[in-house]
Structure 1
């Protein structure tokens, strides 16, 4: 697995780093540090010789946002800090490094103000909820995903994207599900599926 964030871009003087996660991890700030280091290195490549001068080399302001839509209950918004991962030394001096990840829960029904401002994000949230609703029945997973896609198209939920990229979207979801399933040992498979369905009921 190579190091790759979902999306990064610069608007004005702000370097925006966005990720989408279906599983919570306290290590997000550490990953963010790696991402930013790589992005800044690329950003100054043409002027890297200035690093050794007495002239300040101004770099874009960093912002790291993570969209979370896993099945575990998480707050609407939380801020994870790299400094929380440091080994405690007992010293009062602040750490030399910091990186903050703002994690936003985008499951359906959460962060309503944000969803009202971003129609696509709100529809994506409803799309994921629709898939989980279909999965909670007795349909095979692939059929549940296809039915969810068809239902969303009829209800004008991400309909333009789903009509245009229907097979790609379904393949992506199935691939992601199969990767998760593969990471679970055969003896734990039944317990894993039950846990997923129990979380959906919540």
Structure 2
């Protein structure tokens, strides 16, 4: 199945959002839009996204510094995750560790080590339109009230009609939002994933949206975006199936329908642990 070939391709782990936004000029435009600043030199941007190393397997979506003044950490999500402050804490700790590496011995000295001021953002790209902006706090996870350590994550919804002022101030973000929302509309019309991605690419190129990027990276975008939404739909489908676990016939019929439509793979059903061998045999008939 097409979904299975995507799942085994490691390069599709990067999302279109991360690839498209991870240039100096795009990140500078995003920073200016968020902070209301007017920096003009993309060479002031240093991208320091964590991609894992021999010593650490920590990876994040996007992080960068403006000179040594500001460090922005950005995550792109298609599902709601209240644990983002915890994840961001892990990311920023690793980024600071690497930032201080050349002078790590000074941390024990009497002179204060200066650090770039961190800021944390999530751009939500899923189906939930119940919020436009929300704030997540690390302190919400504490089992006892405390104001001794805090980390605040601002979450912006990229759904059509939401955060339009922010999008208007950042053309790359606005273009990605148009791309994503057009794709979602086609999927709601039951267009298969690959066809929806291809049609979205054609629409955007014709309307000068992400034009150069899409022309040069069309096949990669089809892989990345398709995998991204394959994974999301598969995860949601498995959750819904688990709710019907006690209804054996309904469970088998529902799973067979999702398998036939290509929303989930047989391997995913096996790995979920929700089905016996007999049920899997019935599903795959």
Shift of 1:131: 0.6
- Secondary structure (helix, strand or coil) at the match of 1:44 reads helix
Q: Distance in 2 between matches of 1:96 and 1:45?
A: 26
Paired position in structure 2 for 1:10: 65
Structure 1: stretches of 5+ with no match in the other structure:
197-202
- Secondary structure (helix, strand or coil) at the match of 1:172 reads helix
Paired position in structure 2 for 1:151: 203
1:167 aligned to 195, 219, 237, which one? 219
Paired position in structure 2 for 1:200: none
Q: 1:83 to 1:53 in 2, by over 3 A?
A: same
Paired position in structure 2 for 1:199: none
- Alignment of 1:128 with 2:183, yes or no, is no
Structure 2: stretches of 5+ with no match in the other structure:
1-12, 14-56, 242-250, 264-285
Q: 1:101 to 1:151 in 2, by over 3 A?
A: same
2:89 aligned to 17, 24, 33, which one? 33
Shift of 1:181: 4.3
**Quick check: 2:63–2:71 contact (8 Å CA) kept in 1?**
yes
2:144 aligned to 81, 88, 112, which one? 88
Shift of 1:180: 3.0
Query: Over aligned residue pairs, what C-alpha RMSD do you find?
Result: 2.5
Q: Distance in 2 between matches of 1:69 and 1:139?
A: 19
Q: Over residues 49-101 of structure 1, what are the superposed CA-to-partner deviations in whole Å (9 max), with x where a residue is unaligned?
A: 11111221121111111111110124222211000110026xxxx44321111
**Quick check: 1:69–1:107 contact (8 Å CA) kept in 2?**
yes
The alignment covers a number of residue pairs equal to 190
Q: Distance in 2 between matches of 1:181 and 1:115?
A: 26
Large movers: runs of 4+ above 4 Å:
186-191
> What does 1:1-202 align with in structure 2 at a 5 Å threshold?
2-12=57-67, 13-88=69-144, 94-183=146-235, 184-185=237-238, 187=251
Q: 1:81 to 1:138 in 2, by over 3 A?
A: closer
Q: Which has the larger radius of gyration?
A: 2
**Quick check: 1:146–1:170 contact (8 Å CA) kept in 2?**
yes
Q: Distance in 2 between matches of 1:182 and 1:138?
A: 15
**Quick check: 1:16–1:62 contact (8 Å CA) kept in 2?**
yes
**Quick check: 2:129–2:159 contact (8 Å CA) kept in 1?**
no
Q: 1:180 to 1:113 in 2, by over 3 A?
A: closer
Q: 1:106 to 1:138 in 2, by over 3 A?
A: closer
- TM value normalised by structure 1: 0.84
Shift of 1:124: 0.9
- TM value normalised by structure 2: 0.61
